[in-house]
Amino acid sequence: MTLSNSGRDQPIRAPATAQATESNSQWQQQAAQESKGTPPPPLSKDGLTVKPLYGAGDLPPETDSAVPGVYPYTRGIRATMYRGRPWTIRQYAGFSTAEESNKFYRANLKAGQKGLSVAFDLPTHRGYDSDHPRVEGDVGKAGVAIDTVEDMQRLFDGIPLGDISVSMTMNGAVIPTLAFFIVAGERQGVPQNQLTGTIQNDILKEFMVRNTYIYPPAPSMRIIGDIIAYTATHMPKFNSLSISGYHMSEAGATVVQELAYTIADGLAYVDAAMARGLAIDDFAPRLSFFFGIGMNFFAEIAKLRAARQLWAVAMKARGAKDARSWMLRTHCQTSGVSLTEQDAWNNILRTTIEGMAAVLGGTQSLHTNSFDEAVALPTPFSARIARNTQLVLQHEAGLCDVVDPLGGSYYVEALTKQIADEATSLIAEVDEHGGMAAAIEAGIPKMRIEQTAAARQAAMEQGETVVVGVNKYANDSEEQKYDILSIDNTAVRQQQVSQIEAVKQQRNATAVQAGLEQLEATASSEARGSDAGDNLLHAAVVCARAGATLGEISLALEKVFGRHTASTRPIAGVYGSKRAHDPEFQETQAAVAAFADRYGRQPRMLVAKLGQDGHDRGARLIASSFADLGFHVDVGPLFATPDELVRRALDGDVHVVGISSQAAGHMTLVPQVIEGLRAAEAGDIFVVVGGVIPRDDYDALYEAGVGAVFGPATNICLAAREVLKGIEKGLNAGVQA
């Protein structure tokens, strides 16, 4: 039966809810028949409840009216999205010296990259010059070393800063780094108001997960406020803050945790800026975001859609009137933690899937990881594949043809709402604790993320989570080898030290000293503004023009603010509870108990980080899981020197030292630890190393005296048994001696 409608016959339609109920009933019957029982139940994935079927009844009420480019921007911040302009291909890179990184940047720009994203080495992040004694093993290893304005000039030599957008991942030493960038632009003839790009400047997440902080939370928030104020006045095209969830994702956060804590961080910065008198619409349009994209394909798409919605609603509620203040603009990077050392070519597929998720979610720019980044910095070969992955997606896959092609999808729309609702609940929990700064101080986000990371490790080891080539479908044939980028840390450091000395000889020492004294006075001042005398970035630019080094500027602030020290207490019980009924876990736990019976005490382990590598997910996971297995575990402080680590091992009377490395300092620093133990007549202490360790480095570490090396995705129970054997071998050798 049909009814006439403006001369066209249309079928009579039942109400949507009735249709959905009828369709669901039909599916239930068919699914039960096919499975000869009950239909497949919902499952839990990344903390989300996922049903086996979605229909019209699962759509949020506002779905039909939602369009791209319109508040709350769930479907995209621009009406035309990639039909108007594709996302920016922005590869995160930096290594060795400024000259070497510059060559890499120029080659990538020539090959189709549209913007630069700078990775700095760890000494730069932590506010140390390359000649500082604490950074011997870190210079140039996990990013480019920048000590002076001259280094920044060399980094962008031949790259017009007035035309190229530059993103800088910098948080701790953000004041000198941005000051150097401003002065480098001036020396190119580009005024501040013409510079485009982004400085990350997101310190709250550093206290949660990444740890490349320098100063305590309160003065760190002062720094962020000063940068927001300065750039709002002097750099209208530059993004003063990129609120980052990426490092939370890498530390083990679920999509909901990453989204909630990232939005909460952003709101904390907005509230802080408004509290010092800044009008929200004067700075909010230049805030941006940075999310990680993992292998939960549809959840990652929904996460970005939910992020735009949550931010728009929150900013409007805070009184923003400018539509640009409501728009969440984001950069995305594919996951590093999803990459595997085993069967590494599979990583190309993983990165492609993650890149597609970022694009379908509506990112504004994207970095795709190289397949070899599970063990080292990318080579030009692997970086070309990663960049070309984006070019293929952009030009061959048809992803730019339709704006938000998944809009209206029963599953994606329902998932977007679920993620938004659960993130809202987590944000409410943060608010109940007095806001994000207070929640971080109480350790709540860090604890929740670490619990998730431990549970994920247990799920992977038990095969509940399949990782192709690691715990299922392993490649039994000989692994195909690929080149690894190796940085000569000693040579890089020597070059940087020589260049620092040259700058100091040529500069006006009186002008430098006057600038640094003014910077200290500004840090001590209670005034807050964007001009000389009351703004830290303004004072630092004066220092940079005079020739002050990054370390000198950072130290001037440290004299006033102090240097932050983090808690090292690990979580307990999560890994053990997840594997409690697993025979492998029970056998390992029994072996540890048997050791304690034989030797009269538990095996004692010191878990340590060396140098300026603050990435501690692996170290904290090992500490908590080994404790659950029955080890007595001491967690050393971050940023230890080899001498400090040796002293702690001796004071703790440990059997084993486990060193976690993710930033390639192991080749320099680990041998120094072993030499220190031998010099103290404690050479029987078993030393093991784990983390991002290229296999080409294994033999050298063994020759230096390392007892075992554990690469990415190592089974913790198997590693614990190997550690027990190594301890017993050392103890027996001591008895025989």
pLDDT at 95: 78
Whether the predicted pLDDT of 735 surpasses 90: no
Kindly state the average pLDDT of the residues 260-268: 96
Kindly state the average pLDDT of the residues 697-707: 94
Whether the predicted pLDDT of 72 surpasses 90: yes
pLDDT at 616: 87
pLDDT mean across residues, the chain: 91
Q: Which is the catalytic residue, given 613, 616, 634, 697?
A: 613
Q: Which is the catalytic residue, given 615, 634, 655, 697?
A: 615
pLDDT at 3: 35
| Alpha-carbon span 126 to 128, nearest angstrom | 6
Confidence of residue 1 (pLDDT cuts 50, 70, 90): very low
Q: Which of 262-271, 332-341, 435-444, 587-596 has the lowest mean pLDDT?
A: 435-444
Ramachandran region, residue 402 (left: φ > 0; alpha: ψ -120 to 50; beta: rest): beta
482 classed as catalytic:
no
pLDDT at 65: 84
Whether the predicted pLDDT of 397 surpasses 80: yes
Q: Which is the catalytic residue, given 54, 128, 246, 575?
A: 246
Q: Which is the catalytic residue, given 54, 92, 230, 269?
A: 92
269 classed as catalytic:
no
615 classed as catalytic:
yes
Whether the predicted pLDDT of 737 surpasses 50: no
- Cβ distance 716 to 461 under 8 Å? yes
pLDDT at 496: 96
CA separation, residue 86 to residues 67, 83, 678 (Å): 19, 7, 58
pLDDT at 8: 36
Q: pTM for the complete prediction?
A: 0.90
pLDDT at 694: 86
Beta strand ranges found along 610-699 (DSSP E): 632-635, 656-661, 686-691
Tokens of 724: 């027990």
Alpha helices in 36-79 (DSSP H): none
pLDDT at 5: 37
pLDDT at 655: 96
Q: Which is the catalytic residue, given 125, 132, 247, 538?
A: 247
538 classed as catalytic:
no
Q: Which is the catalytic residue, given 609, 616, 666, 697?
A: 609
| Alpha-carbon span 442 to 694, nearest angstrom | 37
Task: Give tens-digit pLDDT for 98-151.
Answer: 999 999 899 888 888 778 889 999 999 999 999 999 998 899 988 999 999 999
CA separation, residue 228 to residues 12, 131, 284 (Å): 57, 31, 9
Q: What percent of the chain has pLDDT over 70?
A: 95
Whether the predicted pLDDT of 4 surpasses 50: no
| Radius of gyration, alpha carbons of the chain | 27
CA separation, residue 337 to residues 93, 112, 519, 689, 716 (Å): 17, 27, 39, 18, 16
613 classed as catalytic:
yes
Task: Give tens-digit pLDDT for 599-613.
Answer: 999 999 999 999 998
- Cβ distance 576 to 582 under 8 Å? no
- Cβ distance 668 to 638 under 8 Å? no
92 classed as catalytic:
yes
